[in-house]
Amino acid sequence: MPISCFKCGTCCIAPDISTLGKPVGVPCVHLRADRRCGIYPDRPAVCRDYAPDELCRALHGLPPAARVGHYLAVFGLPDADDAK
């Protein structure tokens, strides 16, 4: 059963969007404060094809500041603070 969009911004943070130079787990520069895409009509195919999934379900209730750390953990990526 498909999951409805939570309007959480996961689709703008979780995937690697190479056409925009955005690595996995990093918020897209086009992600607005209201968790909406600033270039929605012109967004790349990877964004158009992203469907809400279990990651969306797990993270939609977290405050935006807490989500990035969770994305990094899910994808096994180091936090910027860990690199220091």
For 18, the token pair is: 């190479």
Query: Nearest-CA neighbor of 7 among 34, 40, 28?
Result: 34
Q: Structural domain boundaries of the chain?
A: 10-74
Q: Which residue has the higher pLDDT, 30 or 6?
A: 30
pTM value? 0.67
Q: How far apart are CA 20 and CA 12, in angstroms?
A: 11
Q: 26 versus 31: which is more confidently predicted?
A: 31
81 pLDDT higher than 50:
yes
The DSSP code for 37 is B
CA distance 47 to 62: 21
